[in-house]
Amino acid sequence: MVKNDTQLISHLMRRAGFGATYKEIETYAAQGYDATVENLIDPPSPSWMGDYLARRFHHEQSGMMGPWGNGDNWLYRMITTTAPLHEKVALFWHGIFATGYPKVIHGKMLSNQIRMFRHYGLGNFRTLLVELSKDPAMILWLDNYDNHKDAINENFGRELLELFSMGVGNYSEDDIKDASRAFTGWTIGNSEYMILRSERDSDWPYGRISWHFDFHSEDHDDGEKEFLGRKGRFNGEDIVDMICEQESTARFIARHMYHFFVADEPPVPSWPYTPPRDPAAIDTLTQAYFENNYDIESMLRVLFTSAFFKAEDIRYEKIKSPAEFVAGVLRLTGEFDRPRREIMDRARQMLYMGQHLHNPPSVEGWHQGTGWLDTGTLVERINFASEQVGDLNKTGVKVMIDSIASNNGVDLSSEQLVDLCLEQLGEISVSDTSRAILIKFAEQGDRSPEGIASMLRLSASTDEFQRA
């Protein structure tokens, strides 16, 4: 197997998934890069541990009403899925269409929103925006249930334009008002009844399952509106149609894709004043958006097969989010081949690193890149990774150690041991400085399983292991 092939596949799996074991990387490299991209986009037989199995062992995940069970359940899925890109895309949209528990107060609704991202996230962007506008969690999060024809609430209309599609500077305050008017009557059904049930704590035993989208025609403003220079008796879907036609929308989504899958960009609020890191890449993705009728899958196919994505100078240019980091480590260790109570501890460790799924800090989501790292969160990340990959009781760790030991065993040179450890951790490339430190450590250790585990621990503490 050519080293460059496995390194490129490793790069793809870190960006389009949560990393991969070296055995998986070899399998992907054997079938070829383009075929691997297609299998990620359209996996032949996607599977994962399964809700039914997780909930059988964890009763608190049956209703998933609270702030924890649904996040634990999603982490299970990230760790065990055979369709990692679909979970990565759901995480991508969760960061853009940020919706949180403190206001929604309904874990199952948030989990349903992620399921919607999973289902529509690789499809037509227009369809995704319409489904988002009908999503009960979003309707509650941005107050569209309180948006009436005689008293508009601009929260959803504003964020739809500012954070979800076009970006600041590409619309007017009047556009926000008339977009909000178009979404009057888009609300949740049985809201008064369900609020009363919740106040009386009578949601059990099945959880708060009755929230659903409802359109109240009597509360919809059907009058003439003006939006982006056009006039008409627009409804919400008409507004979405016009949004999707805008070049600003295409470029906004393209920049988000580049930021999430290629290389860290500055925080979104600075985008109106800071040009993209790679304008040509944004142009390419914008073109793909229009040529493929707003199809997200097609945009990602162009992205993953592009020269700018494959370029060596953008590798390790992204800092993994805590969710990506934790899921990636746990996919390596093989700890969760079945439901375990330890999933709750692993999810809390993700929180200590700065990310609580379903609880973004604001409507802007998380500011990623170097925003993930400070002295506290970096220590948490290093301690977590070194503890997990050095645990000889974990199936995946045993596999890594056995594979390393089988290569000349006790006769391994320090350089060979370092290279094999980095290989087993997902074909990681490190700087000359990091490699020199690892080699010096290897010179002082033995080649026993415990010695190799110590080497894996230190390798997982490198700067490059924190990055994608």
Residues 442 and 369 placed together within one structural domain of the fold = yes
Residue 1 lies in a domain: no
Whether 274 is in a domain gets the answer yes
336 and 304 housed in the same domain: no
Q: Are residues 285 and 383 in the same domain?
A: no
Q: How high is the pLDDT of residue 136?
A: 93
Distances (CA, A) of 54 to 178, 207, 388, 396: 45, 17, 22, 20
Residue 148 has phi, psi (to 5 degrees) of -120, 155
Partners of 186 in the beta sheet? 215
Q: Assess whether 252 and 287 both reside in one domain.
A: yes
Asked whether residue 20 is domain-assigned, the answer is no
Give per-residue burial for 396-421: e unless 16+ CB within 10 Å, then b: bbbbbbebbbeeeeeebebeebbbbb
Give the end of a domain, one of 290, 313, 336.
313
Whether residue 402 is found in the same domain as residue 290: no
Cα 402 to Cα 399: distance, rounded to the nearest angstrom: 5
Among residues 16, 1, 10, 19, which one has the least CA distance to residue 334? 19
What is the spatial distance between Cα 459 and Cα 435, in angstroms, rounded to a whole number?
9
Q: Which residue range is the domain that position 62 belongs to?
A: 42-313
| 34 assigned to some structural domain | no
- Chain segment 83-99, per-residue pLDDT in tens: 999 999 999 999 999 99
- The pair of structure tokens assigned to 73 is 């359940």
Tell me, what's the pLDDT at 206?
47
Give a yes or no: residue 35 inside a domain: no
In this structure, the answer to whether residues 306 and 444 fall within a common structural domain is no
pLDDT of residue 172: 97
Same domain for 413 and 288?
no
The whole-angstrom separation of Cα 277 and Cα 321 is 20
Pair 239, 377 in one domain: no
Tell whether the torsion through CA atoms of 76, 80, 86 and 88 is positive or negative: positive
Domain boundary among the residues 278, 313, 348 is at 313
Q: Point out the domain boundary residue: 259, 287, 313.
A: 313
Q: Are residues 299 and 433 in the same domain?
A: no
Residue 316: the pLDDT is 95
Query: Is 182 found in the same domain as 50?
Result: yes
One domain for residues 170 and 122: yes
How many domains does the structure of the chain reveal? 2
Q: Are residues 351 and 459 in the same domain?
A: yes
At residue 170, the pLDDT reads 96
Strands 230-232 and 225-227, sheet pairing: antiparallel
Residue 23 domain-assigned (yes or no): no
Instruction: Write the CA distances from 79 to 45, 343, 438, integer angstroms.
Output: 17, 10, 28
Instruction: For residue range 103-138, list pLDDT tens digits in order.
Output: 888 888 899 999 999 999 999 999 999 999 999 999
Predicted confidence at residue 58, as pLDDT, reads 77
pLDDT at 410: 67
pLDDT along the chain (468 residues), means of 10: 82 97 95 96 90 78 73 93 97 97 85 95 98 96 95 97 96 98 92 63 51 92 97 98 98 97 92 95 98 98 98 94 97 92 93 94 88 92 96 96 83 92 96 95 90 95 94
